[in-house]
Amino acid sequence: MPRAIISPSVLASDFGQLTAECKRMVKGGAEWLHMDVMDGHFVPNITMGAPILSCVHKGVPGIFMDCHMMVSNPEQWVNDIADAGGALYCFHLEATDDPLPLIDAIHAKGMKAGVAISPDTPSTAITDTIAHAADMLLVMTVYPGRGGQKFLERCVPKVAELRLRFPDKDIEVDGGVGPKTIDVCADAGSNVIVAGTAIFNAPNPEEVISGLKASVNR
């Protein structure tokens, strides 16, 4: 299995202190930051876009921004997110009819490409061709739209199905993941772990980050 990566979801941070919050995560051992971009259309909420990502990129030098694009028209934002310093552009398979040219466009802008599936989308929607073209697959373990939701364990078998088909691919889980739910995700084969409230609200984020990592590396 590829190496363990913990990607704290900035959605759970105090946006008034965004850069300081991001630095707090880096200090706690985070290598990636998960940036939840919502457009108020694919999901009901609006969060942040390229201008804010650009501030984080400048304020937290060298940070790998894992951009989770919960947007209806993912083709529209590739250039802006790349210019803002996005390192990985993960779009929802439900939001496009043509994932392969989109993956090419993301790569052409020098970013890694991720493909996300929501709870009601089966793992088979990710065809072999799509998975091989992408750098990361994201299995949502909540309905996209907001942080702090309850982990949906019924999504976990999709992680196992994808791990079986793609032994070397980065597979991310996102939603309701924390110390209590990490083990089933790791056992199923997920190696990229997103956690928002579980890390940001913890008295000691460093401890949570290292605990999540240890669980993947068991």
The one catalytic residue in 14, 120, 174, 183 is 174
Q: Which residue is nearest to ligand DX5 (CB)?
A: 196
Whole-angstrom distance, CA of residue 103 vs CA of residue 87 = 13
Of the pair 148, 167, the CB lying nearest ligand DX5 is at 148
Of the pair 113, 167, the CB lying nearest Zn ion is at 113
Parallel, antiparallel or unpaired: strands 64-70 and 5-8 = unpaired
Of the pair 119, 165, the CB lying nearest ligand DX5 is at 119
Q: How far is the CB of 124 from Zn ion (least distance, A)?
A: 22
Sign of the CA dihedral running 65, 114, 150, 216: negative
Whole-angstrom distance, CA of residue 52 vs CA of residue 13 = 14
SS3 (DSSP) at 88: strand
Residues that bind ligand DX5 (CB under 6 A): 9, 11-12, 34, 36, 68, 142, 144-149, 174-177, 194-198
Quick one: which of 58, 105, 103 has its CA closest to 85?
58
Residues that bind Zn ion (CB under 5 A): 36, 68, 174
Q: How far is the CB of 128 from ligand DX5 (least distance, A)?
A: 26
> Which residues are tagged catalytic?
36, 174
